[in-house]
Amino acid sequence: MKDTFSKVKGMEFPRYVQVGHGILDGLEQLCKDLQFHKTGMIITGSQTYKTAGKAVEQIMRDAGYSISVHQTGATTVENIDEAIAVGTERKAKFILGVGGGSKIDASKLVAANLGIPFISIPTSAAHDGIASGRASLKLDRGPKSIDAVTPIAIVADTEIISKAPHRYLAAGCADVISNLTALKDWDYARRLRAEPISSSAYTLAEMAANSIIASADLIGRGNEEGVWEAVKHIIISGVSMSVAGSSRPTSGSEHMFSHALDLMHVSNAMHGEQCGVGAIMMMYLHGGDWEAIRNALLKIGAPVDAKGLGVMDADIIEALMTAHKIRKDRFTILGTSGLTKQSAESAAKMTKVI
Ligand SMILES: [Zn+2]
């Protein structure tokens, strides 16, 4: 009998993950271990340059690297194009992304375009993108998630991250907790659409979410130990995407709800905050334990309702009713025709979101 086996899979992982107090001091050794060329570029923001970028620049200069600093803003096409041009002109052979989610995303996009490696050095941990290969690009119609490049290393200094406002870390934790509904959606798609599941990616994403829920009290205290506990699992969540080869284990109907809110331009809440609130309602729709999600978010200090997100009740309803249109290729509990107004209202009310 002819062998018809034809499965193929590739995974892209970070080579080094360093987390902990004062870990930034080991950056020189890390760059040596990675055999980086002597010319590199730091991509950072005006604020994050002050909190960590300047220190990174000093460490690299002292180590004999020719390092330039490029400060950028939001991840718009114009800003990314500008950073690519600067990187090309300065002949950068590696990038150090120093900042919150948007600066890390910018580094990913520039590194992917120039075909050079980058190190993710987060100054806050507001979502699991600090460890993944996917980047969010800001377009006029809303953010678009695209494939870029996985960081070759992650240097998450808990001392630096603990100085960022607690709201950022709480949002990052909410983003990871929302894996629980993304995973329910994935399993739902497996049962209804025979979509293939990676059980390794599934387990990693689930473990990351459950670990953060188990440490919710500690994380809510807002000290460095809580940052340590949270960041490890935020990174594991990112790694689950590397294993799956897509954002499937970490992004389902709750992320579609968040993107629907983004498209309405009514919310100033953070990505993770919206996903957390979305997860409460999607878990209700799945018939799962939405109260466990809500309680964990409350303990951590993340929003659990419309008021906490700073949006109107009607906005929540509209986002729930339009969320299914966001990614038609991603089958979720929202199905293909979405929620009726009555069911959206009832889900939001039952879960105390409105
Ligand atoms: Zn997310």
What mean pLDDT do residues 143-169 have?
94
Q: What is the pLDDT of residue 8?
A: 86
- Give 35 Cα–ligand 1 centroid separation in angstroms: 32
- Give 6 Cα–ligand 1 centroid separation in angstroms: 32
- Kindly report, residue by residue over 292-323, the tens digit of the pLDDT: 999 999 999 999 999 999 999 999 999 999 99
- Give 348 Cα–ligand 1 centroid separation in angstroms: 21
- For 252, 273, 323, the CA distances from 258, given in Å and listed in that order, are 10, 9, 8
- Kindly report, residue by residue over 90-135, the tens digit of the pLDDT: 999 999 999 998 999 999 999 999 999 999 999 999 988 898 888 9
Place of tokens 């699992």: 233
Higher pLDDT, 196 or 101: 196
Q: Which pLDDT band holds residue 2 (cuts at 50, 70, 90)?
A: low
Percent residues over pLDDT 90 in the chain: 89
Q: What is the pLDDT of residue 77?
A: 94
Q: What is the pLDDT of residue 1?
A: 61
- Give 218 Cα–ligand 1 centroid separation in angstroms: 22
What is the Rg, in whole angstroms, of the alpha carbon atoms belonging to the chain?
20
Query: Which segment of 11-15, 91-95, 187-191 scores lowest on mean pLDDT?
Result: 11-15
CB 282 within 8 A of CB 180: no
CB 161 within 8 A of CB 124: yes
Q: What is the pLDDT of residue 328?
A: 86
| Main-chain dihedrals φ then ψ at residue 157, nearest 5 degrees | -85, 110
Q: Which pLDDT band holds residue 252 (cuts at 50, 70, 90)?
A: very high
- Give 308 Cα–ligand 1 centroid separation in angstroms: 18
Q: Which pLDDT band holds residue 177 (cuts at 50, 70, 90)?
A: very high
- Give 261 Cα–ligand 1 centroid separation in angstroms: 14
- Give 139 Cα–ligand 1 centroid separation in angstroms: 17
Alpha helices (H) along the chain:
27-33, 46-48, 54-62, 77-89, 101-114, 158-161, 166-177, 179-193, 199-214, 216-220, 224-244, 253-264, 271-285, 290-300, 306-309, 313-322, 341-350
- Kindly report, residue by residue over 26-69, the tens digit of the pLDDT: 999 999 999 999 999 999 999 999 999 999 999 999 999 999 99
